[in-house]
Structure 1
Amino acid sequence: MTAEMSGVDNVASFYEGLGQVLNIAWGENLHYGYWENDADDSTVDVATARLTDLLISMLDPAPGASVLDIGCGVGKPALQLVAARKTHVTGIDVSDVEVEQATERAARAGRSELATFRNADVMELPFGDDSFDGAWAVESLLHVPDRSRALAETARVLRPGGRLVIADTVERPPVGPEARAVLDEICAAYHVSAYATADEYSGLLTASGFVDIDIRDISDKVARTGMIMADAVEARREELARIDGPEPVDQYIGLMRRAAASPDIGYLVIAATLDPASGS
């Protein structure tokens, strides 16, 4: 087994273990929530759906467009996209368990013709050139060992002029020693390759042929996610510990509280367009 494949297997194991626990505590929209301001008392379900809506608006696919969902999880954002824009979504994930759950979710929603899911690695996509009109990666690229390769592969399967949207947790330099310790611990515990910065994403996207790069720091809108998620897990600690063991549950609670308190850890949403001249 290669080191790369071992990393993929580790990510899959995380989402098939603690990830399933988090789905129970947080909900199956397993990404950050978006709150408008301090007075916004929206539920987690509303806040996470609102973030997905923001990403849909940034991707802005036409009805019938083909979209690649990189790191689809259990498929809830993909199905929200399908419902909103009547697109054809192909979701990929490295976890067979999550692919099966996403497929079942699409079938229950009557969307199997518009949303399909399969096991695949973004660093080696099993699709031909110019296969998709758009793509998004919602909190998935942080697990990828080689983001440059992943973005190059994404560019290869996008048609010229295709849109890419990314949502990701990032570093906000300069990162102090306390935040660095938290980031290093998260990387080790949850198979995060490394946290990027806004400048790194800009450079990687440009190198892969993307133009019109729009990077938005929405850290203030999603900041309460960590504390709320930690509270949700802690409130069901005994139940969740029976599923995955007390140690990973307690570690998660502590890390999320520390990360949420750090101004050096932020959150970006990014939109970019594959250079329309790239196919000429």
Structure 2
Amino acid sequence: MNAREIRPAGPRGPRLSRADTTRADRLTRLAGTRLAPLPGTALLVIGCGTGRAALLLAAETGCAVTGTDIGAARIATARRRAARSALGVRPEFHTADATALPFPARSFDQALMMEVTSRLPDTPGRRGKRAVLAEAARCLRPGGLLLLADPVGAGGAPAGAPGARPTTRERLPALLDAAGFDVLRIDDLTALTGEPAAERYTGYVMITAWSRVARVT
């Protein structure tokens, strides 16, 4: 299979239950299918928000989830949700900048980033898309999987989407390559997610990539 091929999600994807009432849960379950973590797999969720995706994946796969988000209030909510859950192994949540994660190199088997890079500038500095992808590569063990789900556009900030900085679908694989990843699969999820909406974006992609090297800085 050509790793650069962009394919629509088709019949080989998971069957979506009627109980999947939210777009976020549908994306999370599809991400879980692509990563296919085993019980005990160390999964890092970067930009976890209030923990919904992290808790869902922990409940349905049995993997050991660690979530990070720069928002302290969101992390507090995620911790409360974890404390109320019936999970045997509850996810851990940390307040952290995605470009400076508080973990040793090669700490995780897999990483998930949903709608994170689309909010960062495409700059060479320590606050942009390149920096967050390089940090994900540092935290992954060689051969670890990264799943990236993001809206794409023509570059720049689309009208009606304050704070959004999506890049093009061609640029994302190049950024991943520069960070030390080989792209394994690109799914076009525009129809599934309902993007583009109100001309905010041109589409939505989910990229599965393999860490060919753990970058230690």
1:262 is aligned, of 186, 199, 208, to 199
Letter in 1 for 2:104: G
Q: Which runs of 5+ in 2 are unaligned?
A: 1-8, 122-127
CA separation of 1:44 and 1:133: change in aligned 2, threshold 3 A: closer
CA separation of 1:81 and 1:69: change in aligned 2, threshold 3 A: same
Structure with more helix by fraction: 1
Q: Does 1:221 align with 2:167?
A: no
Question: Which structure 2 residues correspond to residues 1-280 of structure 1 after superposition, within 5 A?
Answer: 42=18, 45-111=21-87, 113-145=89-121, 146-171=128-153, 173=154, 183-186=158-161, 189=162, 191-192=163-164, 194-223=165-194, 260-262=197-199, 265-275=202-212
Question: 2: distance between equivalents of 1:170 and 1:159?
Answer: 28
Aligned twin of 2:6: none
TM-score by length of 2: 0.80
CA separation of 1:102 and 1:278: change in aligned 2, threshold 3 A: closer
How much does 1:263 deviate? Answer: 8.7
**Contact in 1 for aligned 2:45/2:113 (Cα 8 Å):** yes
CA separation of 1:48 and 1:272: change in aligned 2, threshold 3 A: same
Question: 2: distance between equivalents of 1:130 and 1:111?
Answer: 26
Question: Quick one: percent identity of the two aligned structures?
Answer: 34
> Cα deviation per residue 1:128-175 (whole Å; 9 max; x = unaligned)?
11010010011122223411011111100100010000111111x5x8
Question: 2: distance between equivalents of 1:59 and 1:211?
Answer: 15
SS at match of 1:196: coil
**Contact in 2 for aligned 1:151/1:205 (Cα 8 Å):** yes
CA RMSD, Structure 1 to Structure 2 (Å): 2.7
Structure with more strand by fraction: 2
Which 4+ runs in 1 deviate beyond 6 A?
A: none
Question: 2: distance between equivalents of 1:41 and 1:88?
Answer: 24
Question: 2: distance between equivalents of 1:261 and 1:197?
Answer: 18
> Cα deviation per residue 1:53-89 (whole Å; 9 max; x = unaligned)?
1000111212101111111111111111101111111
Question: 1: distance between equivalents of 2:22 and 2:182?
Answer: 32
Letter in 2 for 1:147: K
State which drifts further: 263-272 or 68-77: 263-272
Letter in 2 for 1:126: P
TM-score by length of 1: 0.63
